[in-house]
Structure formats: structure tokens, C-alpha cells
Amino acid sequence: MAITMLTSANFKDVVANSDIPVIVDFYADWCMPCKRIAPTLEEIAKEKDGEVLVCKVDVDQSQDLAVAHQVMSIPNIISFKNGEVYKRAVGAVSKEELLDLVK
């Protein structure tokens, strides 16, 4: 499955209504570490289709979401289970670390 783009308009609906864990990557287009982990997130979205929902939030476009989730550095990856924050990772982390966010 493709990565789902989240905005202020759809964030709550997508995250709260997901029956599976959600990984949300708070990123910016100009961020080099964000670009480095993007292919890994795409791999996870394809490999774990139906098991994990992978989403992205552009912090430049949705600053309110970044503030609400206390995103101070990017990439900032937050996992949600049952609509609640579960785990968090900051920086260009490995695929294993990303997958650990939903274990």
C-alpha cells in the first residue's frame, strides 16, 4: 500500500479509526535525513500492507500537528496504537528501529 499523507483535516480520522498500528513520519521536503529514510518507509508500507499503516505529515504544511505532537526535530516518527501514541523515534533510524515502533 502507498504511504498515506496526513493533514490537519484527516489526521484524527485516519489515526483514530485505524484497526492496525500506524507509523507517522513528521518530515519536511528540505530535510536530508527525512529523504534518507523515505525509501525505508516505502518498503515498510509495501511489506507490511494490512499490518501497519504508514503515514507522513509535512511539518511545513501542518505546523499545528507538529506542535500538538511535540515535534521538535525531524524526522520524528511516532507510532500509534488504538489512536494513542505508542512509541517515538527521532532521526534517520534503521528499518529495524522503525519496525520496533509497532511491536
pLDDT of residue 55: 98
pLDDT of residue 1: 75
CATH fold for the domain made of 4-100: Glutaredoxin (3.40.30)
pLDDT of residue 37: 97
Closest CA to 82 of 19, 7, 2: 19
Rounded CA-CA distance 79/24 in Å is 6
What residue ranges of the chain have pLDDT lower than 70? none
- Looking at the annotation, which residues are catalytic? 31, 34
pLDDT of residue 40: 97
Please state the pTM of the whole predicted model.
0.95
Can you give the residue ranges of every domain in the chain? 4-100
